[in-house]
Amino acid sequence: MTETNNILPDWIKRQATLGPNVKVDGQQTDDNSFWYLLTVCCPLIFESYAIILHPYWINWKAKDLITSGLTLTEDQLDNKDFKRISWTDFFRIFDYEFNLKTANQTQEKIRQQLLNSGTKKTDWPVYIWFSGEGNCETEELKFIFSKIADQEVNFYYCLLKTQKWEEEKIFKGKLSEFEKLSLNSELRENPTAIYPDDKSWCIVSDYDLPFTYVGGTKELIDSLTTNRNFDIYEIEPIFKEQLEKNTSH
């Protein structure tokens, strides 16, 4: 694993760096956010695409204690007791059915429901963590890597993913070397983007979003979305990038 010149190639630079840097030919709404942001966050140069919904987390021990009448603060909870839960199972707790087309609106309904359930409208159940923003979980990344032949790729970390927040970093190495990056004290969490030089696929996690996009061949995307152990779903672009108008006379 070696650090490179830390310069993103043009084909992924605008999507991976802090932005947004891509203008979309259309308006973003609650209904189309997943599709709108696909155009913003992933280069539309691939045969197929997928969205990875980052898991929710619940501390079931704390939930049971609080339900029984005990008062617990966040400081009293052990992070190790939080267990991941899929969007489908999380929605069912609140009597909602999961559907990718309505998932964004549903999670917002649940968010508001939880905020309004406390004694104050700003209260939040200490036993629930919403999906982490800007960080694809290691389990999901390893699953994706298992569907790709081990190859040399680039692991890109945006400014906010480095400890000093001063410069971007890119490391080049084999997919099988991924875990070595977790030992690097200069880095925070998982990469913002992962991509090979041949542009055959990419993974991009925008720092503000609770989901990650994958672009690649139809074969790769099919191999990811047919596995129900993770919230990975095929998503087709419905927006195009807005081309810059020529203002010259």
111 and 225 belong to one structural domain: no
Last residue of a domain, one of 114, 129, 144: 129
How confident is the model at residue 75, as a pLDDT? 87
| Distant-in-sequence, close-in-space partners of 171: CB < 8 Å, separation ≥ 6 | 1, 2, 3, 4, 154, 155, 157, 181, 184
66 and 173 belong to one structural domain: no
Residue 120 within a domain: yes
190 and 109 belong to one structural domain: no
How confident is the model at residue 227, as a pLDDT? 80
Q: Encode the chain (249 residues) as per-residue pLDDT tens digits.
A: 999 998 999 999 999 999 889 999 999 999 999 999 999 999 999 999 999 999 999 999 999 998 898 888 888 999 999 999 999 999 999 999 999 999 999 999 998 888 876 545 456 889 999 999 999 999 999 999 999 999 999 999 999 999 887 789 999 999 999 999 999 999 999 999 999 999 999 999 999 999 999 999 999 999 999 988 899 999 999 999 987 664 444
Last residue of a domain, one of 66, 97, 129: 129
141 and 219 belong to one structural domain: yes
As for how many domains the chain has, the answer is 2
β-pair type (48-53, 232-234): antiparallel
| CA neighbor of 126 nearest in space, from 174, 71, 167, 52 | 71
141 and 49 belong to one structural domain: yes
User: Which residue in this structure is represented by tokens 């009293």?
Assistant: 76
22 and 35 belong to one structural domain: yes
227 and 193 belong to one structural domain: yes
142 and 228 belong to one structural domain: yes
208 and 220 belong to one structural domain: yes
Backbone angles phi, psi at 159, to 5 degrees: -50, -40
The two tokens of residue 41 are 């966050």
- For the beta sheet containing 152-157, the strands, ordered from the edge strand earlier in sequence to the opposite edge, are 2-3, 169-174, 152-157, 193-195, 202-204, 211-216, 48-53, 232-234
Residue 249 within a domain: no
71 and 149 belong to one structural domain: no
Instruction: Work out whether the CA dihedral 90, 94, 95, 99 comes out positive or negative.
Output: negative
39 and 124 belong to one structural domain: no
* Structural domain of 79: 56-129
The two tokens of residue 11 are 């084909």
